[in-house]
Structure 1
Amino acid sequence: MSDWYRDFANSGFGTTITKQLGLPRPAQLRRYEPGQPLLPGPAVVGSAGEGRLRDEVTGLLRDAGVTVVSPVAADGSTDGERLAAVLLDATGLTGPADLAAAHDFLAPALKRLRPSGRVLVLADPPTGTSSPAQAAARQALEGLVRSLAKELRSGSTANLVHVPLGAEGSLASPLRFFLSGRSAYVDGQVLAVTAAELPSAADAEQPLAGKVAVVTGAARGIGAAIARVLARDGAHVVAVDVPAAGEQLAQVANEVGGTAVALDITGDDAGPRLAAQLVARHGGVDVVVHNAGITRDKLLVNMDAARWNSVMAVNLQAQLDLTQALLATDGALKPDARVVCVSSQSGIAGNRGQTNYAASKAGVIGMVRSWAPEFAERGATINAVAPGFIVTEMTAKMPLGTREVGSRLNSLQQGGLPVDVAETIAWLAQPGSAGVNGQVVRVCGQSLLGA
C-alpha cells in the first residue's frame, strides 16, 4: 500500500514544503529483492576495546562480496564512495573509558553513511562480567545504539547483537540479516546469539529449499505475506486458516504452490489433527509460524467475557496447544525445527483499550522464553516477532488522524509493510539461524512506545 505522505515528502515540491515547515521526510526504505547484493556499497569495520570479532566480520563481509574499506579519518573522509554499513566490534570492553573509542570510530564514519545505511554494533552480553565497570560499559552500548537509531535519518538503522565467547560461529546469519534489506523496518533492537550446531551452508537465494512450513492465519494480510516470502525462499507452505476464509486461503495456497488447510485452531482437537496431517502428508514440519490473531478492543471496565476469552483462545492458547501437540506427536516436528510466534508491540508497551490483546501477546513472549531451553536440546529454536504499526487493509480503515499518528511515531517515520514482518520471520526460519533462540525481535521501525 502506498504511503501518500512519504511519497509527497519525497517529491520535488513536497521536499521544498517539508523543509520550509520543518516536517519529517520519511525515506524510501531499502527492502530485499532476490538477487540483490548484501550491501549496495562498501562497509567499514572498527573496534573498541580488545575486540575479537573484527577479523571474522571482515572475512564474512568479503565472502559476501562486500568491499571493506579502511576506517575513516577524523574528518570523515574515505578513500571512495559513501558507506553502506558501519560495523563496530565492541567485544572486550573493560570499563567506561573504552567507550570513547566507540565514539571516536562511529562519529566520523556516520558522516559518510549513505541513505538506508546500516550500523551494527557487536558486543559481549552485560551479564557474567568480571566487574561492575565492565558490566556498565557493556550495558552502555544498549543506550548508545537505541539513541543512535533515533538520530539516523534517510532510512538508516542501528542495531546491537550480543555475541558471547564461544558463539562466534552463530554470527553469520544475524550479520547478513541486519545488513540486508530484509531488516528494513527493524531498528534500535538488541539481539543475543548463542553457540549452536550450524548446518552446512544453504542456498543464499532459497535457504528454505526442501522445507515444509506451516503458517496459521495465512488467508490475508501479514499471514499471506509470510506465506509468499517463505515460498519464495524455497519452502512448501501449508497455509492454515478458519473455514470461513476458505476461498481466500485457497487463493494464497495456489499462488505459492502450497497446501490449504481449513481449520479452526481453537478447536479441542485442532492440534492433534494438524500434527497427524503433517506427518501423513508431508513427513513432518520444519517451520511453524503462529501468526493467527484477532482483536476485540474495549476498555477493561467495559469488556465482556466473550471478548476476553476469544482473544486469549486465538492469540495465546492456540499457540500453546498447537506447539504442544507437535512436540507430542512422533515425527511431527523435525529435530531442527524453527518455530516463530507472532507477538506484538502492544504486548511489550501496552495499548489503551487492548488489555486482552496486550496480555495475550505478552503471554506469547513468556511462552517463547520458557520453551527455548527445551527447543535448544532438540537442536530446534523458538522465537517471537513483535510487529509495530504495519500498514494493512485493517489499518487502512482507521481514521486518518489515528493512522497517521500510529505510522509516524517511530524512528523511520513511517508504517511498516507486511513483508517486513515476513522477512524477519523467514530469517528466523532459516537453518543458519540456529544460534538465535528465545529472542523477541521487534519489527516496528523503533517505535517510540515501549523499549
Structure 2
Amino acid sequence: MSDKYTQFVSQGFGRELARRLGLPRPVELRRYEAGKPLVPGPVLVLGNGDEGRSQSAEGIAVELLSWGLDVRRNALPKEKLGAIVLMLDQVRRPEDLEVPMLTAARSIRDLAPGGRVVTVSRTADSAEDPAAAAARQGIDGIVRSLAKELRDGATANGILLGRDATPQSPGALGALRFFLSGRSAFVDGQLLTVSSEAGRAPGDPDKPLAGKVAVVTGAARGIGAAIARTLHRDGAVIVAVDVPAAGDHLAEVANEVRGTALQLDITVPDAGERIIHHALERHGRLDILVHNAGITRDKLLANMDDGRWRSVIAVNIASQLRINDAILGSGRLPVAPRIVSVASTSGIAGNRGQSNYAASKGGVIGMVRAAAPLLEARGGAINAVAPGFIETEMTARIPFLTREVARRLNSLQQGGTPADVAEAIAFLASDAASGVSGEVLRVCGQNLVGA
C-alpha cells in the first residue's frame, strides 16, 4: 500500500504546505536500485585519534577507495556528503569521544538527502576496564540519539566488533557496505555485532547469493513474496513454501523467480524433513532457510481463547523450533544453512491485544540467541529481523487514524515496505554477514516505542 501523504509532502506545494503548518515531512527513502552508486556522494572517514585520524580509519578509507567510492579524510567546506564513517574502535575512556564526535558534528548539516552515518566501535562487554566500557556504551547512546536528529531520509547505525573481530573482518566490511547502501533504507538507530573474523566476502557484491539455494516459508504473498524476489535478484535459487490453500499464489511467485514451490503446512511434525528432502532432491543443496510464515489472532488477554493462543504459537515459533531441530539433526546436510527468522518489534515492546503474537515473536528472538552456538558448530548461523510498521495488506486494514499514527512513530516518519524487510534478510543470509550470529536487526525506521 502506498503512503500518499509521504508522496504529497515530498515535493512542490505539498512540501511547502507541510513546512508552513509544521506537519511531519517524511521523504522518499533512498533504496537499492541496480546500477546506482553505493553511496550518492563523497564519504568522510573519521577516527578517534588526533584530528579524527587513526590507523583503523586509514585502513577503512583504503577499503572504501577499493569499492570505487569518493573518500575524504577531511571535510571540504559546504560539500554535500553521501556518508560519514566514524571509526571509534580505539576509544579507551569517555573523553576520547569528544574529538571525533565534534569533528563529525561540523559535517552533519552537509549530509545529502538519504545520507548515512555509520560508527564502528567495540562491544562494551569486551572492555578491559569500566572506563572503556563506559565509552563504548556511550557510543550506543550517540547512535540512537543522532538517528533521531537526522532528516531528509538520512540514517545512523553502528557496527560493534566483538573480541575476535577487527574493522577489516569480512562481516564488519559486509555490514558497512549494507549500512551505506540503499538496502538499509528503513534500518535506523541500530547496532549490529560482528563477533568473529569468520567467513569471506561475496565474490560479486551485486549477486551475493549466487549459487545458493534458499527456502522461504510463507512465500505466497506480502513480505514472503518480497523475500523470494529479493533473494532471487541476488542470485539464489528459491524454494517457495506455503500452505496448500495458498497454492495458486505460491505457484505464481515460484514461477516468477524461476524456483520451485512446496505446498506444506509447516506445523506438521515432519515439516523439517520434507523441506530438506525437497531442497536436496530438486536442487542438490540447502544454504539458506528463511522462517517468514506467521499469523496473528489478536485479542485482549482477558478475552483470549485457547484456539487463538495455540495457533499463533504453533505457526510462529513451535514450527521453527522443530524445523531447526531437523536441520541440526539431519545427516544429509554437511554444513548447516544460514537461518533468518522474522520476529517483530511487538516481541520487543509488546502491543495491545497481541500477548500471543508478542510471546511468539519474543520467542523467536530467544531462540535465535540460544541457537547461534549450535548453528555455528555446524558451520551455519542464525539471526532475526524485527520489522516495525510495514505497508502490507494487513496494515492497510487498520483504521485510518490509527494507521497514520503508527506510520509516523519512527524517526523516518513513515512505514517501511516488504522490500525493506527482504533487503535486511538478504544481507543476513549472505556471506557478507560472516561472523554475525544470534543477532536481531530491527527494520523499523527507529520505532519510537520500545525499539
TM-score range, shorter chain: over 0.9
d(CA) in 1 for partners of 2:164 and 2:108? Answer: 30
d(CA) in 2 for partners of 1:258 and 1:376? Answer: 28
Q: Is the contact made by 2:328 and 2:336 (CA closer than 8 Å) also made in structure 1?
A: no
What RMSD, in angstroms, separates the aligned Cα atoms of the two structures?
Answer: 1.4
User: Equivalent residue for 2:206?
Assistant: 205
d(CA) in 1 for partners of 2:33 and 2:340? Answer: 22
2:266 counterpart letter in structure 1: I
Give the SS at the match of 2:104.
Answer: helix
Aligned-residue offset at 1:93? 1.1
Aligned-residue offset at 1:165? 4.9
User: Equivalent residue for 1:86?
Assistant: 84
Q: Which moved more, 1:382-391 or 1:87-96?
A: 87-96
d(CA) in 2 for partners of 1:294 and 1:196? Answer: 37
CA 1:255–1:123: 2 relative to 1, 3 Å = same
Q: Deviations over 1:155-204 (max 9, x none)?
A: 00001111235412131100100000000000000111022332364212
User: Equivalent residue for 1:53?
Assistant: 56
Q: Which moved more, 1:257-266 or 1:94-103?
A: 94-103
User: Equivalent residue for 1:162?
Assistant: 160
**Alignment equivalent of 2:102, drawn from 89, 95, 104:** 104
User: Equivalent residue for 2:185?
Assistant: 184
User: Equivalent residue for 1:171?
Assistant: 172
Q: Is the contact made by 1:212 and 1:285 (CA closer than 8 Å) also made in structure 2?
A: yes
User: Equivalent residue for 2:272?
Assistant: 271
Aligned-residue offset at 1:336? 5.7
Q: Is the contact made by 1:94 and 1:134 (CA closer than 8 Å) also made in structure 2?
A: yes
1:413 counterpart letter in structure 2: Q
Q: Is the contact made by 1:380 and 1:434 (CA closer than 8 Å) also made in structure 2?
A: no
Give the SS at the match of 1:261.
Answer: strand
User: Equivalent residue for 2:425?
Assistant: 425
Q: Deviations over 1:235-283 (max 9, x none)?
A: 1100000000000000000000010000000012222222222222222
**Within 5 A, what are the aligned runs for 1:11-160?**
11-49=11-49, 51-72=54-75, 77=77, 81-160=79-158
**Within 5 A, what are the aligned runs for 1:350-365?**
350-365=350-365
User: Equivalent residue for 1:442?
Assistant: 442
Q: Is the contact made by 1:166 and 1:195 (CA closer than 8 Å) also made in structure 2?
A: yes
Gapped regions of structure 2 (runs ≥ 5): none
Give the SS at the match of 1:202.
Answer: coil
Give the SS at the match of 1:171.
Answer: helix
d(CA) in 2 for partners of 1:200 and 1:41? Answer: 24
Q: Is the contact made by 2:316 and 2:361 (CA closer than 8 Å) also made in structure 1?
A: yes
* TM-score normalised by length of structure 2: 0.96
d(CA) in 2 for partners of 1:86 and 1:235? Answer: 32
User: Equivalent residue for 1:298?
Assistant: 299
Q: Is the contact made by 1:71 and 1:105 (CA closer than 8 Å) also made in structure 2?
A: no
What stretches of structure 1 move > 3 A for 4+ residues in a row? 49-52
Q: Is the contact made by 2:187 and 2:442 (CA closer than 8 Å) also made in structure 1?
A: yes
Give the SS at the match of 1:160.
Answer: strand
Q: Is the contact made by 2:126 and 2:162 (CA closer than 8 Å) also made in structure 1?
A: no
User: Equivalent residue for 1:260?
Assistant: 261
Q: Is the contact made by 1:52 and 1:92 (CA closer than 8 Å) also made in structure 2?
A: no
d(CA) in 2 for partners of 1:29 and 1:365? Answer: 28
Q: Is the contact made by 2:409 and 2:448 (CA closer than 8 Å) also made in structure 1?
A: yes
Q: Does 1:329 align with 2:327?
A: no
1:420 counterpart letter in structure 2: D
Aligned-residue offset at 1:379? 2.3
User: Equivalent residue for 2:395?
Assistant: 395
d(CA) in 2 for partners of 1:229 and 1:324? Answer: 27
Q: Is the contact made by 1:52 and 1:89 (CA closer than 8 Å) also made in structure 2?
A: no
Aligned length: 445
1:293 counterpart letter in structure 2: G
Identity of paired residues, percent? 55
d(CA) in 1 for partners of 2:330 and 2:279? Answer: 10
CA 1:42–1:350: 2 relative to 1, 3 Å = same
Q: Is the contact made by 2:269 and 2:322 (CA closer than 8 Å) also made in structure 1?
A: no
Q: Is the contact made by 2:48 and 2:97 (CA closer than 8 Å) also made in structure 1?
A: yes
Q: Which moved more, 1:358-367 or 1:97-106?
A: 97-106
2:305 counterpart letter in structure 1: D
Q: Deviations over 1:66-122 (max 9, x none)?
A: 01113227xxx15xx410000111111111111211322221110210100000011
User: Equivalent residue for 1:193?
Assistant: 194
Q: Is the contact made by 2:45 and 2:84 (CA closer than 8 Å) also made in structure 1?
A: yes
Give the SS at the match of 1:335.
Answer: coil
1:103 counterpart letter in structure 2: M
User: Equivalent residue for 2:338?
Assistant: 338
Q: Which moved more, 1:210-219 or 1:161-170?
A: 161-170
Q: Is the contact made by 1:276 and 1:329 (CA closer than 8 Å) also made in structure 2?
A: no
2:74 counterpart letter in structure 1: P
